[in-house]
Amino acid sequence: MNLAQFTIHELHEQLKNRKTTSGELTRSVLQRIEAVESRIHAFTTVTAELALAQAEAADRWLRSGRPVHPLTGIPIALKDNLCTKGVRTTCASRILENFVPPYDATVVGRLKESGAVFIGKTNMDEFAMGSSTENSAWGLTANPWDLNRIPGGSSGGSAAAVAADACIAALGSDTGGSIRQPAAMCGVVGLKPTYGRVSRYGLVAFASSLDQIGPLTKDVTDCAILMKSISGSDSFDSTSADVPVENYTGLLNRDLSGLQIGIPKEYFIDGMDPEVLHAVKEAVRTMEKLGAKTREVLLPHTEYAIATYYILATAEASSNLARYDGVKYGSRAKPTKDLLEMYMKTRQAGFGPEVKRRIMLGTYALSSGYYDAYYRKAQCVRTLIKNDFDEAFKQVDVIVTPTAPSAAFKIGEKTKDPLQMYLSDIFTISVNIVGIPAVSMPCGFTQTGLPIGLQIMGRPFAEATVLNAAYAYEQATEWRKKKPNL
């Protein structure tokens, strides 16, 4: 029996009933990492010693007879842009190559309180800027379903690790689709929460008005468990919302009677992979059989979402990444003759090509004479896009779309054309612009065996509705049971 293949909720029952121990489970996951890591490269750091120590502590708690949290003793992987006290946090960048944070991110602290085991830090696009995990300073991550294809990005390491059973679940971050798109490419479940639902304290910032932390899991029940653990207001994050957190797992059921589903025509476009289109339409039909009602909704400003996002996100990146100057922390170029040369050489050597590209784009958009033409106008269009969703959600409970226009593409296929790479997130970006929750889950496979993702969007703070719609569909299908052949 390979314990690494099980879900959080299955393993919770085994641990609670003393059928296994966290130590046995953690060793099983570490063995799995050893078996597959050379092929998929999902991790930047494997924290085996820490994980075994935490597993031993979890087993002591389990033997004590005290109440057991659903995550107690469960090995979780963390994206390498989440600060972990005493454990290297690099953001897959040379400039943070040896950075060891002196504190934990709030979500990390909450997982520690629940008794979770930290198995390692996962690979990502540098500073979360990318859609393929090809922009990492530590090398690319491969898709477990086809080692010649990308796993999606920027949370590609987290998604690949979950798909390959190299962890039981993982955390990622989502700025324009960076949880949902790799979840779709790797055939797992990924949730981007409402902006403010999960504290961003300790998340290394890319674009502060867009970033959110969320779970990547093997099924929807696990997603609900992890969401419950990391959600809630936080005094360390002024943008976290003081909104009650529901018992997401307790609200899951298989009944979609009365659920109103919106289908936006703007998300079913020319050039989309026919296999993706077919799988998503079949998923909608399945949801209708479960009692849901569908209707067309209009999101007319969708065509401006990509342009809007890449002005706002790059402008915020330009501002956030100004702190990496070789002075306070991170790498420093030397020798240099003066301060200016030190700044320039540090950033030249420390940042990769995609990060430099986005910093330059954002600096241009914020520069004198161009601010009104670009950044201010993008903020105005952001409001128009939000108004579209507000109007749509007056008519429906959730909106269903494809997660990505195609299945995973080949490694290197889009690296020479940044615009084509940016278009990979065409169906996910609006969710971040508006700040609403959305989940991606498997809804089929291509003829060549690649996963296809279904996206379900909801009203602000309606994670429970989104998760239940996903759960009902999941339970009516068998997609979650398929595993990559590694």
Mind telling me the catalytic residues?
Answer: 79, 154, 178
CA 55 to mean position of chain CA atoms: 25
CA distances from 215 to 173, 348, 450 (A): 8, 33, 21
Q: How far, in Å, CA of 118 to CA of 124, rounded?
A: 17
Burial 189-206 (b: 16+ CB within 10 A, else e): bbbbbbbbbbbbbbbbbb
CB 439 within 8 A of CB 456: yes
Which of 176, 193, 124, 189 is CA-nearest to residue 153? 124
DSSP 264-299: EGGGS-TT--HHHHHHHHHHHHHHHHTT-EEEEE--
Give residue for tokens 């290394």.
Answer: 204
Neighbours of 341 (CB within 10 A): 12
Half-sphere exposure of 423 (CA within 13 A, CB side): 14
Give residue for tokens 């952001």.
Answer: 382
Crossing angle for the helix pair 220-230 and 8-16, to the nearest 10 degrees = 80
DSSP 446-469: -TTS-EEEEEEEESTT-HHHHHHH
Amino acid at 159: A
Q: Give helix then strand counts, H and E, for the chain.
A: 15, 11
Q: How far, in Å, CA of 465 to CA of 457, rounded?
A: 9
Q: How far, in Å, CA of 374 to CA of 385, rounded?
A: 16
